[in-house]
Amino acid sequence: MTTAPPKPVDAKPPVPAAAPERIKAKQRPGDVIFSTSTIVAGGLILAILALVALFLIVQSIPAFVADPAEIKGSPSSFWAYVAPLVGGTIWAAFLALLMAVPVAIGIALFISHYAPRRLAAGLGYVVDLLAAVPSVVFGLWGITVLAPFVQPFYSTVVDIFGWIPILAGPVSGTGRTILTVAIVLAVMILPIITALSREVFLQTPRLHEEAALALGATRWEMIQMAVLPFGRPGIISASMLGLGRALGETMAVAMVLSVSGGFSFDLLKSTNPSTIAANIALNFPEAHGVGVNVLIASGLILFVITLIVNSIARYIINRRKAFSGAN
Amino acid sequence: MTTTTVPAPPMTNTLTAGKLPKATPWLLLVGSWIVMGVIFGLLMMAGVTADFNIVGTIFFGTVLFVIVLTVVSRLYEGVRRSKDRMVTSLVSLAFIIALLPLISLLFTTIVNGAHRFDLTFFTYTMRNIVGEGGGGLHAIMGTLQITGWATLISVPIGLLTAIYLVEYGRGTFARAITFLVDVMTGIPSIVAGLFAFAFFALLTGVAGIRFGFGGAVALSILMIPVVVRSTEEMLKLVPNELREASFALGVPKWLTIVKVVLPTSIAGITTGVMLAIARVIGETAPLLIIAGFTQSMNYNMFNERVMTLPVFVYTQYANPGSDAQAYLDRAWTGALTLILIVMLLNLAARVIARIFSPKLGR
């Protein structure tokens, strides 16, 4: 797919070496207008991101200085209001990642190294279909199909493993717990992790693979020795991008999770921490006054968290691009 | 390798010696399912479970298969082969696991959405509707308009930025833009909605502002990076020889780009734009915040709330009236319509890419 892209050309016509003086390209009005407009468009992207940060900060300031009594649920401070949400966001995204990454690596390996060549592209498209499903449909599915489906399993698990702290009962009667949410999130971030890992696995130098096989390695040993070490940075950054997606996912969480205040690690109880994004979506339509600012401030925190996660991921990807011999 | 226990026929093929026959894994798989089926059948007859547990049969049968296959392979083929076989079955299993939610989701949406997938749904709004009847016309129109505006905003910006990055961009500024486009890809959709709200609330001075164009702005923040990324890839694929030939004929650079580079890559760019539309058309959270929800048709993007399809699905589900089932049915039909639109866009994008892509490689 992504082979080495050709370097863009330089516009200047070749100058004869003996020429005493460089012939400058004629600056036509069309050229000036066109190149300026492309620069303006590029600059707009800088401006938009700056504006996003600026306006979120401006609208959040009232929340930081507000009287805590005006905040919904009257917590002791703004931070006491946000902390459980941050905890819930990270906990749900972490659980989703824990489930999605092994499966995604498996799928990526299946498509890149196990499936018959002819089928591989089609199978990749099938996984991409998952990415095309809108999140609100995932929410609807999670609450009407998945939650009732997994609830009996949760009961059984609590009966048998209830002595493990995070699996403690009493079990949720609806199945709308943070574990269900994490399953839905895992399904939603599968395509992005799969797509990126697959790309990286396909870039493994052919000679490394063939050398391993020629030395008598089985297919799994070849993957262990050649493909996985080569693809490790790719897997890590793909997981980070998936994590960023899971952190910001709104509707599926808002619809599926049955929320109560506070934070806990319990997976199967009906008392679950909410996430920042879901909390905004659920409370924004009715919010007014300082409540709006509080929600925007929590959005700002979410923005910062995802920004950090995504930047790390991009940093790993870009560093690898520069040093790998594959492209 | 331990190849001791081969029941050798008189003539052995040395290439397959010490290997399990090809059909073994399949036989073992069916065998494990049957064993588990018998166990669950006995459980059912003993009255422990009410009916035959087919999910349990398949699940535990597959687990049993992986274990048995590993053990059998270990006995006959040695540790390394058995590990290989185990990983092969696990990897294939991972793929099937990923298919299950997709199939289940599509199946439920089609079955539940078919109830109200009728003419009424596509010709009526929800104005003055309580209980049955009514439809999502206002939501469909709102979605089309908001997405259209978002496309109008993002395509020029995205296209020009990509041209800058590929044809002009050098140095720090270009690298900064590349990085920021990547960062923009990761903005959570709800944050985009909050930004549009914060921006227009300050700009207009209306505290609880809701209007359609704000939704378009929020969506274009999500859409621009996708357009830039895909267009950039496509422009990079245009062979340099084409540009050089054009320059050699004395064509100015901007005309080279407009008349040579863009026409060559237009199919890929169109595909990228359609995929970008498909990505944002299903966004719920930003529209919930800035476009709001309403029961009536609103063609004016700059005044008052506008309903969109994803928000329609959410509100029908979240705020059911007296006859909850009617609302749920409408939500599913909305979901089905949404999925159909997204799939059609995806399909069209791929068809365009296949038919109109330039035939290179001569």
The structural domains of chain A, with segments of one domain joined by +, span 66-323
**Domain match, B213 and B72 both:** no
Q: How far apart are the first and last CA of chain B?
A: 50
Which structure tokens are listed for B209? Answer: 């502002």
**Domain match, B107 and B242 both:** no
pLDDT value of residue A322: 47
Residue A137: pLDDT band (50, 70, 90) is very high
Instruction: Locate all alpha helices (DSSP H) within A14-132, ordered by sequence.
Output: 29-65, 78-109, 117-132
Mutation to test the A interface, candidates B3, B62, B95, B260, most A Cβ within 10 Å: B95
Number of domains, chain B: 2
Residue A17: pLDDT band (50, 70, 90) is low
Which structure tokens are listed for A74? Answer: 């009257």
Residue A126 has pLDDT above 90, yes or no: no
Asked if residue A268 lies in contact with residue A157, where contact means CB atoms within 8 angstroms, the answer is: yes
Which structure tokens are listed for A68? Answer: 């805590």
Say yes or no for a CB contact (<8 Å) between A35 and B254.
yes
Q: Which of B91, B288, B317 sits opposite A106 (nearest CB)?
A: B91
Compute the nearest-CA separation of B201 from chain A (Å). Answer: 9
Which residues from B are below 8 Å from A114, CB to CB?
Answer: 88, 91-92
Cα separation, A299 vs B238, in Å, equals 41
The radius of gyration of chain B's CA atoms, rounded to the nearest angstrom, is 29
- What would the pLDDT profile of A18-34 be if each residue is shown by its tens digit? 556 777 767 788 888 99
- What would the pLDDT profile of B332-355 be if each residue is shown by its tens digit? 999 999 999 998 888 888 888 778
Q: Is B345 inside any structural domain?
A: yes
Among B85, B100, B115, identify where a domain stops.
Answer: B115
Cα separation, B224 vs B26, in Å, equals 48
Q: How far apart are the first and last CA of chain A?
A: 12
pLDDT value of residue A174: 85
The larger pLDDT score, comparing residue B138 to residue B208, is at B138
**CB neighbour list of residue A127: distance below 8 Å, 6 or more residues apart:** A107, A111, A190, A191, A194, A195, B98
Element (H, E) at A305: helix A290-323
Amino acid (1-letter code) at residue B234: M
DSSP string, B57-69: HHHHHHHHHHHHH
- Does A73 reach chain B within 8 Å, measured CB to CB? no
Among B73, B93, B115, identify where a domain stops.
Answer: B115
**Domain match, B215 and B334 both:** yes
Q: Which of A305, A262, A258, A263 is nearest to A282 (CA)?
A: A258
**Domain match, B106 and B163 both:** no
DSSP string, A166-225: GG-SSPPSS--SHHHHHHHHHHHHHHHHHHHHHHHHHTS-HHHHHHHHHTT--HHHHIII
Q: Which of B95, B189, B207 sits opposite A250 (nearest CB)?
A: B189
Cβ contacts from A onto B, under 8 A? 290
Say yes or no for a CB contact (<8 Å) between A140 and B163.
no
Superfamily of domain A66-323: MetI-like (1.10.3720.10)
Asked if residue B126 lies in contact with residue B135, where contact means CB atoms within 8 angstroms, the answer is: yes
Say yes or no for a CB contact (<8 Å) between B104 and A145.
yes
**CB neighbour list of residue A92: distance below 8 Å, 6 or more residues apart:** A178, A181, A182, A185, A246, A253, A275
Which residues from A are below 8 Å from B184, CB to CB?
Answer: 45, 48-49
- Does A96 reach chain B within 8 Å, measured CB to CB? no
**Domain match, B198 and B269 both:** yes
Task: Tell me the CA distances in angstroms from A265 to A79, A91, A153, A261, one per residue in order.
Answer: 19, 8, 19, 13
**CB neighbour list of residue A261: distance below 8 Å, 6 or more residues apart:** A73, A84
Mutation to test the A interface, candidates B105, B111, B140, most A Cβ within 10 Å: B105
pLDDT value of residue B357: 65
- Does A201 reach chain B within 8 Å, measured CB to CB? no
Asked if residue A293 lies in contact with residue A63, where contact means CB atoms within 8 angstroms, the answer is: yes
Share of chain B above pLDDT 70, in %: 93
Residue A14 has pLDDT above 70, yes or no: no
Coil, strand or helix at B359: coil
Task: Tell me the CA distances in angstroms from B274 to A263, A322, B281, one per residue in order.
Answer: 41, 31, 10
Q: Is B2 inside any structural domain?
A: no
Domain harbouring B212, CATH code: 1.10.3720.10
The larger pLDDT score, comparing residue A98 to residue A325, is at A98
| Lowest-pLDDT choice from A114-118, A210-214, B53-57, B257-261 | B53-57
**Domain match, B110 and B125 both:** no
The radius of gyration of chain A's CA atoms, rounded to the nearest angstrom, is 25
- What would the pLDDT profile of A293-324 be if each residue is shown by its tens digit? 899 999 999 999 998 888 888 787 777 654 44
Torsion sign over Cα B99, B101, B102, B104: positive
**Domain match, B43 and B146 both:** no
The chain A residue lying nearest B156, using CA atoms, is: A41
**CB neighbour list of residue A159: distance below 8 Å, 6 or more residues apart:** none
**Domain match, B104 and B128 both:** no
Among B115, B148, B169, identify where a domain stops.
Answer: B115
Which structure tokens are listed for A326? Answer: 């594959």
Q: What is the mean pLDDT of residues A279-286?
A: 88
Q: Is B207 inside any structural domain?
A: yes
Task: Tell me the CA distances in angstroms from B277 to A38, A129, B41, B226, one per residue in order.
Answer: 22, 15, 50, 9
Which residues from B are below 8 Å from A9, CB to CB?
Answer: 240, 243-244, 247
Tell me which residue has tokens 């959040």: A60
Q: What is the mean pLDDT of residues B247-275?
A: 90
**Domain match, B92 and B186 both:** no
Amino acid (1-letter code) at residue B262: L
Q: Is B6 inside any structural domain?
A: no
- Does A44 reach chain B within 8 Å, measured CB to CB? yes
> Per the omega criterion (within 30 degrees of 0), is the bond before A170 cis?
yes
Interface of A with B in 150-179 (CB under 8 A): none
Say yes or no for a CB contact (<8 Å) between B97 and A103.
yes
**Domain match, B48 and B128 both:** no
Cα separation, A282 vs A91, in Å, equals 19
Query: Within a 13 Å sphere around the CA of B237, how many CA atoms are in the beta-carbon half?
Result: 22
The chain A residue lying nearest B248, using CA atoms, is: A13
**Domain match, B104 and B196 both:** no
The conformation of residue A263, written as its DSSP 8-state character, comes to: -
Number of C-beta neighbours around residue B297 at 10 A: 16
Asked if residue A296 lies in contact with residue A60, where contact means CB atoms within 8 angstroms, the answer is: yes
- Beta-bridge partners for A272: A259
**Domain match, B137 and B229 both:** yes
Say yes or no for a CB contact (<8 Å) between B160 and A42.
yes
Cα separation, B120 vs A212, in Å, equals 63
Torsion sign over Cα B198, B203, B205, B209: negative
Q: Which of A49, A51, A251 sits opposite B199 (nearest CB)?
A: A51
Owning domain of residue B183: 121-356
Which structure tokens are listed for A163? Answer: 């002595």
Mean residue pLDDT across chain B: 86
Q: Is B18 inside any structural domain?
A: no
The conformation of residue A142, written as its DSSP 8-state character, comes to: I
Say yes or no for a CB contact (<8 Å) between B182 and A31.
no
